Structure 1
Amino acid sequence: MTPFPVATRRNFLLASAAIGATMIAGRPALAAEPSRGGSATLLLSAEPPVLTTIAHTAYNSVYVSPKVTEGLLTYDFDLNPQPLLAKEWSVSDDGLRYTFKLRDGVRWHDGKPFTSADVAFSIKTIKDVHPRGRNTFLNLIEVETPDALTAVLTLSKPAPYLITALAASETPIVPRHIYEGTKVTDNPTNLAPIGTGPFRFKEWVRGSHIVYERNPDYWDKPGPYLDQLIVRFIPDAAARSIAIETGEIDLAPSTPVPLSDLERFKSLPGIAFETRGYQYANGISRIEFNLERPFFKDRRVRQAFAHVIDRKVIRNTINYGYGEAIPGPINPNLTKWYVADLKTYPIDLAAAEKLLDEAGYPRGPDGIRARINLDYVPSGESYSRGSEYIRQALAKVGVDATVRSQDFATYTKRIYTDRDFDFAFEGMSNLFDPTVGVQRLYWSRNFKPGVPFSNGAAYSNPKVDALLEAAAIEIDPGKRGAQWREIQAILVEDLPAIDIVSQPELTIYNKRIADHTRGGEGIAGSLAYAYVATA
């Protein structure tokens, strides 16, 4: 048995040939040739900690990295793979060898040629240092380079998700000659990237913006079309709304304005919404507990919190009705794995009080059972407003939660490196497959201080580990679905996290910019084909 039906494997090659008939050097054919020149400004609500995703998965880094550093493949809106640095590919019948034929004539921004050695180095490095890489490439034995334009991935076991994991944001290909022999996570190139992509890094003004310039030597002529791409960081929600409304911003992904403003924005001339381009992400919001803290080691405490925090209030009030309340860790968009009938905890303050008493946390003379800190991810007002609701809800059962705010870099260091937190209200991406997007959050082997956006809870359950590892190599869809159902059933009992709402994602854009969303990666793609459509 193999992870891909013969017809599917054949379709990879047939699709490559068919695409070639309608593409110019890999670029989908357009009805009319876009105009060249001009500038576009992209908005982020928080400053990225790094500008490449070779060892990081912060959502804001995901938006900038692919502008410079490309992947082997890109994906359409149905997540079918499309050529990028790899012009064609095939998978062996046993699903253990992936062969990629690379584009000839591609050069790094410093003029050095791109080769299969770069692919081998990058994928091996991602397996070692990337927060999701140890999951994605768990079964990777070797990356062979029989010639400069061929890379062959050899696996010990099948990986049914792997062909969808090779986008620029997820598996970036970086220059070996720049990174080899260095500590990849600390390499200064992470802050001033060198890639093969359509834009070259020019400058990063901390606290303000990044400037990228057109790469005149880009392999996919005649792109890119924009002369300049500016990325601005505007942490304040009201300021973001003003910047979009006044035309200072052209592209604003990931629902950048308060949800309460969306109806008003729909009526603004020159402004439009795009809901596509998030198929690769599938984000959710969740509350994650630090299980290294004595207070949260007792499952009864976590279950008490579940009886107090009403995800429907967060959905209906905090999120203004956007998104969907979810019972478990998987976004409803991932229909193959989503389970709607998982165990839930009805809002019941008396039950919560009883559980906290049984766990050894009675109310003191002042009515307080425990004083703890709540940190929220600084990426939109929903998390700050949601944290205030959580604080108020817990106060009803004698838990005094202090809400702490900080910039993104400080938040990331606090949670994943310093481990200086009690519980957090955060967003996480399921991505395109739960083995990649969800396993990292619960697999005990993925708890590694200093590695961001992985198992922040320090959760460890041998049965869950075994199921996660089995599902990662299961080629029978029915069996794999049953494994993920069982995983979710255990997680809602253990409650290392409380899953809240599927994230409502959309892009607000100025109509002067065309062709910005062309596949499942959306604005997190390269923007190689975006152009100024109107003056």
Structure 2
Amino acid sequence: MPKLWTPSRRHFLGYSAAALGIGLVTRPSFAQSTPQHGGTLVVSQSNDPVALSGIAHTGVSGEASKALEGLLSYDFDLNPVPQLATDWSVSADGLTYTFKLRPGVKWHDGQPFTSADVAFSLNAIKEVHPRGRVTFAPLTEVQTPDEHTAVLKLSRVAPYLLTAFAAVETPIVPKHLYEGTNVAENPHNNAPVGTGPWVFKEWVRGSHVRYERNPDYWDAPKPYFDALIYQVIPDAAARSIAFETGEVHIGGGANVPIPVSDLARFEALEHIGFDRRGQGYINGVQRIEFNLEVPFFQDQRVRQAFAHTIDKSVIHQTVNFGYGSVIPGPIADTLTKFYEPGLKTYAIDTGKAESLLDAAGFPRGADGIRHRLTLDPLGGSDHHKRGSEYIKQALAGIGVEVSLRTQDFPTYIKRVYTDRDFEFSYHGMSNLFDPTVGVQRLYWSKNFKPGIPFTNGSKYESAAADGYLEAAAIEQDPAKRRQFFTDFQNQVIEDLPDINTVSTVAATVYNKRVVDHTTGALGLAGNFADAHFVS
């Protein structure tokens, strides 16, 4: 086993790419010669994963798509391409989806993959997956007329559904290892047995996850690396050092793996490349989420005061160094089919904010403090921590004293979604490939599910917002569907269960020895079957 990375020194550099006029460059990585087998790919990871299978979790990352596969993958334009399904069709009425499955595929334990595995997995995801409850709500039955055919029957149309079958979102798991168990607690969620190019070997928590090459992969001679290691490096500056020294080879995707302040300097490094492709399945946003079970935040005037105080442009320019974009509502500008730039905004006006807090019954005390709060940044994220420091500073100007509580990722998830022991948080969320899948889960009143991460954490309840979301989920006319989402965004901006600040600073950072790592919209959540080293 190769030597794993351990930190030896740390440093921070403060160059601003925006100030220098340097943009994040896309350097496509396609091999010019026949791929050769060999080597170990080391992937930078800021935190331990929540799980190694997305069958019951949304807090998974690229690890979840290496052993397990989906029915489909997707090109850069989100067009479906074959994976475990080789062919598919949708009936004229949109209520029947038929998948022809790849023959001769075996699970890593040698058992054959069949349509029974597909039926079991989709039904389980509908029941236990936080987004699956929404995604597969119309699914009434999965028929299996033979071992290599799966037929999905829907109660209503689902215009987003054909984009939902990637491994990271809708993994297919082995029925023979899951049937009769509590799917959400099955030990194979953390030691997956799949059909994919990589066989799980070990997870040493706080250190690394290791996979090895599947010699019996159906798409031989892939994969090309001998092993794949996800190396946990919590400190962002330490991750920069590891990239510079070549001790890690690739990382990022939904978030850049190094401090944003280092991006301009990294542009000049000859052995480092950046790739902005592979974000079409993610479309991340950064957001302040209020816990509406906390009495202080139950008064809308308080939330409006915060909106008039927290300057999104400061987060964009100072915290994110000009990367990403200021956004007015819950949908990222990168999700262009549904993004609406002309939504209501709250002008920065601290005088108005103070008046709103006075009217809500929170005058300044003798010490100038109106209220004291604790803010929880998402664990392991440099820009969420730095964004929270700005939020603390901004709110101090209107008499709200904020304490920051930093913690690792698992502790943060438990605090916010299980214990409900938080007042407000600053974090990132993915819109994913369609708002019905990636956005609805965060605002739909029926998706307040304590104990399940990345759901409706604010406990937002709005009959109007629910109505817009539910109408959009079944509307087949693109213009009408977009309007439903625009109406929904206007409702959220009025109600303010959260404040969406900027679109995520997203990019893959990689050593130029690694090629063919990003082959479609999934980016680093693809399966790395094509990736290999060049000299």
TM-score range with shorter-chain normalisation? over 0.9
* Alpha-carbon offset, residue 277 of structure 1: 0.8
Amino acid in the other structure paired with 1:185: A
In 2, Cα distance between the equivalents of 1:158 and 1:324? 33
* Alpha-carbon offset, residue 30 of structure 1: 7.8
Aligned partner of 1:151 in structure 2 is 150
Aligned partner of 1:352 in structure 2 is 353
* Alpha-carbon offset, residue 179 of structure 1: 1.2
Aligned partner of 1:486 in structure 2 is 487
What per-residue deviation string (whole Å, max 9, x for no partner) do you get for residues 211-262 of structure 1?
Answer: 1000111111111111100110111011000000000011112311111111
Amino acid in the other structure paired with 1:258: P
Contact 2:469–2:488, Cα closer than 8 Å, also in 1: yes
Aligned partner of 1:381 in structure 2 is 382
Q: Percent same amino acid among aligned pairs?
A: 61
Residues 24-35 of structure 1 mapped to structure 2, 5 A cutoff: 32-35=33-36
Corresponding residue SS for 2:152: strand
Contact 2:443–2:460, Cα closer than 8 Å, also in 1: yes
In 1, Cα distance between the equivalents of 2:443 and 2:416? 15
* Alpha-carbon offset, residue 33 of structure 1: 2.6
Contact 2:31–2:516, Cα closer than 8 Å, also in 1: no
* Alpha-carbon offset, residue 285 of structure 1: 0.3
Contact 1:394–1:400, Cα closer than 8 Å, also in 2: yes
Aligned partner of 2:64 in structure 1 is 65
Q: Does 1:237 align with 2:236?
A: yes
Contact 1:51–1:65, Cα closer than 8 Å, also in 2: yes
Aligned partner of 2:160 in structure 1 is 161
What per-residue deviation string (whole Å, max 9, x for no partner) do you get for residues 367-422 of structure 1?
Answer: 22111110011242111111011011111111111111111000001111110000
Residues 61-210 of structure 1 mapped to structure 2, 5 A cutoff: 61-210=60-209
Deviates more, 1:512-521 or 1:358-367: 358-367
Q: Does 1:402 align with 2:403?
A: yes
Contact 1:301–1:359, Cα closer than 8 Å, also in 2: yes
Deviates more, 1:304-313 or 1:42-51: 42-51
Q: Does 1:525 align with 2:526?
A: yes
Amino acid in the other structure paired with 2:282: A
Contact 1:46–1:408, Cα closer than 8 Å, also in 2: yes
What per-residue deviation string (whole Å, max 9, x for no partner) do you get for residues 45-71 of structure 1?
Answer: 11112111111112xx22101001100
* Alpha-carbon offset, residue 512 of structure 1: 1.0
Aligned partner of 2:37 in structure 1 is 36
Contact 1:52–1:62, Cα closer than 8 Å, also in 2: no
Contact 1:71–1:171, Cα closer than 8 Å, also in 2: yes
1:30/1:146 CA distance change after superposition, 3 Å: farther
Q: Does 1:338 align with 2:325?
A: no
Amino acid in the other structure paired with 2:192: P
Aligned partner of 1:271 in structure 2 is 272
In 1, Cα distance between the equivalents of 2:532 and 2:251? 16
Q: TM-score, normalised by structure 2?
A: 0.93
In 1, Cα distance between the equivalents of 2:271 and 2:522? 24
Contact 1:329–1:488, Cα closer than 8 Å, also in 2: yes
Aligned partner of 2:217 in structure 1 is 218
Aligned partner of 1:291 in structure 2 is 292
Corresponding residue SS for 2:321: coil
* Alpha-carbon offset, residue 32 of structure 1: 4.1
Contact 2:56–2:183, Cα closer than 8 Å, also in 1: yes
Contact 1:39–1:532, Cα closer than 8 Å, also in 2: no
Amino acid in the other structure paired with 1:456: G
In 2, Cα distance between the equivalents of 1:166 and 1:457? 28
Amino acid in the other structure paired with 1:202: K
Q: CA RMSD in A?
A: 1.1
Contact 2:235–2:380, Cα closer than 8 Å, also in 1: no
1:156/1:533 CA distance change after superposition, 3 Å: same
Structure 1 residue ranges, 4+ long, deviating more than 2 angstroms after superposition:
29-33
In 2, Cα distance between the equivalents of 1:285 and 1:266? 24
Structure 2: runs of 5 or more not aligned: 1-29
Contact 2:290–2:498, Cα closer than 8 Å, also in 1: yes
In 2, Cα distance between the equivalents of 1:298 and 1:182? 44
Aligned partner of 1:366 in structure 2 is 367
Corresponding residue SS for 1:68: coil
Amino acid in the other structure paired with 2:452: V
Amino acid in the other structure paired with 2:121: S
In 1, Cα distance between the equivalents of 2:89 and 2:61? 27
* Alpha-carbon offset, residue 269 of structure 1: 1.7
In 2, Cα distance between the equivalents of 1:31 and 1:147? 42
Aligned length: 504
What per-residue deviation string (whole Å, max 9, x for no partner) do you get for residues 87-134 of structure 1?
Answer: 000000000000000001111111111111111111111111111111
Aligned partner of 2:426 in structure 1 is 425
Amino acid in the other structure paired with 1:321: G
* Alpha-carbon offset, residue 463 of structure 1: 1.2
What per-residue deviation string (whole Å, max 9, x for no partner) do you get for residues 15-55 of structure 1?
Answer: xxxxxxxxxxxxxx986431111111001111112111111
In 2, Cα distance between the equivalents of 1:296 and 1:138? 31
Contact 1:290–1:458, Cα closer than 8 Å, also in 2: yes
In 1, Cα distance between the equivalents of 2:34 and 2:154? 42
What per-residue deviation string (whole Å, max 9, x for no partner) do you get for residues 294-325 of structure 1?
Answer: 11111111111001100000000000111100
Amino acid in the other structure paired with 1:243: A
Corresponding residue SS for 1:472: helix
Amino acid in the other structure paired with 1:91: V
Amino acid in the other structure paired with 1:282: N
* Alpha-carbon offset, residue 271 of structure 1: 1.0
* Alpha-carbon offset, residue 365 of structure 1: 2.1
Aligned partner of 2:450 in structure 1 is 449
Corresponding residue SS for 1:177: helix
Aligned partner of 1:23 in structure 2 is none
Amino acid in the other structure paired with 1:168: A
In 1, Cα distance between the equivalents of 2:125 and 2:344? 36
Amino acid in the other structure paired with 2:394: A
Amino acid in the other structure paired with 1:101: K
In 1, Cα distance between the equivalents of 2:379 and 2:510? 22
Contact 1:72–1:84, Cα closer than 8 Å, also in 2: yes
Contact 2:69–2:196, Cα closer than 8 Å, also in 1: yes
Aligned partner of 1:13 in structure 2 is none
Contact 2:103–2:148, Cα closer than 8 Å, also in 1: yes
Q: Does 1:323 align with 2:304?
A: no
1:250/1:514 CA distance change after superposition, 3 Å: same
Deviates more, 1:76-85 or 1:258-267: 258-267
In 1, Cα distance between the equivalents of 2:110 and 2:435? 38
Contact 2:159–2:476, Cα closer than 8 Å, also in 1: yes
